[in-house]
Amino acid sequence: MTDHRELALLLRRLTVELDAVGQRFAEVHGLNRTDVRALVAIMDAARGGESLTAGRLGAAVDLSSASVTALLDRLEKAGHIRRTRDAEDRRRVVLEMSDTAMAAGAEHFGGLQRDLTAAMADYSDDELAVVRRFLVDMTGAIERHSRPEPPATVVGC
Amino acid sequence: MTDHRELALLLRRLTVELDAVGQRFAEVHGLNRTDVRALVAIMDAARGGESLTAGRLGAAVDLSSASVTALLDRLEKAGHIRRTRDAEDRRRVVLEMSDTAMAAGAEHFGGLQRDLTAAMADYSDDELAVVRRFLVDMTGAIERHSRPEPPATVVGC
DNA sequence: GTCGATTATCTCGATCGTCGAGAGAATAGC
DNA sequence: GCTATTCTCTCGACGATCGAGATAATCGAC
């Protein structure tokens, strides 16, 4: 029987290392963890064709509006993003990544992506299918512990 | 051909959710992320039979000695740890988790461990072996991006 | 035993990120 | 136009972190 605890430890270790990659990006570019999380969120949105607004970014990284303003001030001053008023709703501020920030992110995280993909080449489709099922199952199990109200199996009230 | 990018995304998603579990523990117990990381480190050391000192904890969570002092002040005031001088080397301060903190941690993270292990019961030994190999490979690839000096393939000085 | 060098931790002042409360600006409905 | 709503920003305060230096204990040499 394979040791289940060892696999759980491996998952945690992988998480720690993946965190360290973001940490490293932050150090190299003189940013803090929140700034990196925000850039990643903006980058992900850009990939999906969407542009984030200040408010949506605050919701995404769980920050107050005051903190988002300070965060965007830092990123803008460093030249990583631009703020522009939305033409349709001029209350909104839409965020766009600068080309240099986009390139820096692509180099850092794209390189990781490339290495991960290369490492996956050693696996058959069947094996990757097993891994995929495993990751989905584990994420589901973890998710049930990461939400505020787990079951709430109450009837009355 | 299985989509390699999807697997990379699943890994990231799993990481985010696992992070959220720690975040949730922090919120429930009125701690911040650093405090939780420190408690986990102390807990892990305790599991291995070792007792952490203030200095080793600082190295583990990458904090200055000044920050470690403040961190331990918070944890001690909250009743999560005790500080005692080492009998052999009285310069050292050894850290011990209180029973209540140990129980709280066991309940929170032990419950997750139980669910993960339960979810693994659906897999054959062969499948788990594949998953294990995959996790080790991916962690290795990620690790090469999380360290300050990646290759340094220079010959002369 | 006691002197200096070393190690481990703590104290102090300053900096930076975050928040709550409220202000400012634009929009939508009447 | 007026009011309510939405979105972002400003301000003052708090808390976590750091660098530099202080305090205390240990070790080795004499």
**Quick one: pLDDT at residue B137?**
96
Residue among B1, B13, B120 whose CB faces A4 most closely: B120
Q: Does B116 touch chain A (CB under 8 A)?
A: yes
**DSSP conformational letter for A151:** -
Three-class SS of residue A48?
coil
B33 CA, D20 C1': Å apart: 27
For residue A37, give every residue at least 6 positions away whose Cβ sits within 8 Å of its Cβ, in sequence order, or none: A22, A61
CA dist B47 to A4, A76, B41, Å? 17, 46, 10
A6 CA, C29 C1': Å apart: 61
Per-residue pLDDT tens listing for chain B (157 residues):
568 889 999 999 999 999 889 989 998 888 998 999 999 999 888 888 888 898 899 999 999 999 999 999 999 998 999 999 888 888 888 999 999 888 988 889 999 999 999 999 999 999 999 999 999 999 999 999 887 654 445 554 3
Q: Does B114 touch chain A (CB under 8 A)?
A: no
Do residue A116 and residue B8 have CB atoms under 8 angstroms apart? Answer: yes
**Quick one: pLDDT at residue A150?**
45
Residue among B2, B10, B142 whose CB faces A21 most closely: B142
Q: How far is Cα B111 from Cα B93, in angstroms, rounded to an integer?
A: 31
Tell whether the model's pLDDT for residue A156 goes beyond 70: no
Mean pLDDT, rounded, for A87-91: 86
Q: Quick one: which residue's CA is nearest to D25's C1'?
A: B91
Q: How far is Cα B51 from Cα B45, in angstroms, rounded to an integer?
A: 6
How wide is the angle at C-alpha B32 spanned by C-alphas A140 and A55, nearest 5°?
70
B89 CA, C11 C1': Å apart: 22
Q: How far is Cα A138 from Cα B112, in angstroms, rounded to an integer?
A: 10
Of 1.10.10.10, 3.40.50.300, 3.20.20.450, 1.20.1510.10, the CATH number of B16-146 is 1.10.10.10
Query: Using a CB-CB distance cutoff of 8 angstroms, which residues of chain B are in contact with residue A127?
Result: 130, 134
Residue among A4, A13, A143 whose CB faces B17 most closely: A143
Tell whether the model's pLDDT for residue A89 goes beyond 70: yes
Does A56 or B48 have the greater pLDDT score?
A56
Residue A14 pLDDT grade (very low, low, confident, very high; cuts 50, 70, 90) = very high
Residue pair B82/B95 in contact (Cβ under 8 Å)? The answer is: yes
Residue A49 pLDDT grade (very low, low, confident, very high; cuts 50, 70, 90) = confident
Residue pair A10/B139 in contact (Cβ under 8 Å)? The answer is: yes
A131-143 as b/e, with b when 16 or more CB fall inside 10 Å?
Answer: bbebbeebbebbb
**Quick one: pLDDT at residue B87?**
83
**Quick one: pLDDT at residue A50?**
83
Tell whether the model's pLDDT for residue A135 goes beyond 90: yes
How wide is the angle at C-alpha A135 spanned by C-alphas A24 and A149, nearest 5°?
90
**Quick one: pLDDT at residue B154?**
53
Q: How far is Cα B44 from Cα B95, in angstroms, rounded to an integer?
A: 12
Query: Using a CB-CB distance cutoff of 8 angstroms, which residues of chain A are in contact with residue B12?
Result: 18
Residue pair B117/A11 in contact (Cβ under 8 Å)? The answer is: no
Domain positions in chain B: 16-146
**Quick one: pLDDT at residue B156?**
45
Mutate: best of B135, B144, B149, partner A, most A CBs <10 A: B135
Mean pLDDT, rounded, for A80-106: 90
Residue pair A80/A97 in contact (Cβ under 8 Å)? The answer is: yes
**Quick one: pLDDT at residue B150?**
44
**DSSP conformational letter for B62:** T
Element (H, E) at A46: helix A33-47
A83 CA, C29 C1': Å apart: 29
For residue B31, give every residue at least 6 positions away whose Cβ sits within 8 Å of its Cβ, in sequence order, or none: B25, B39, B74, B78
Nucleotides of strand D under 7 angstroms from a protein beta carbon: 6-12, 15-21, 24-27
**Quick one: pLDDT at residue B1?**
59
Give contacts of B 20-79 with A, CB under 8 A. 20-21, 23-24
CA dist A68 to A27, A75, A93, B39, B86, Å? 20, 10, 12, 29, 45
Number of H helices, E strands in chain B: 6, 2
Query: Using a CB-CB distance cutoff of 8 angstroms, which residues of chain B are in contact with residue A129?
Result: 2
State how far residue A99 is from chain B, nearest Cα, in angstroms: 23
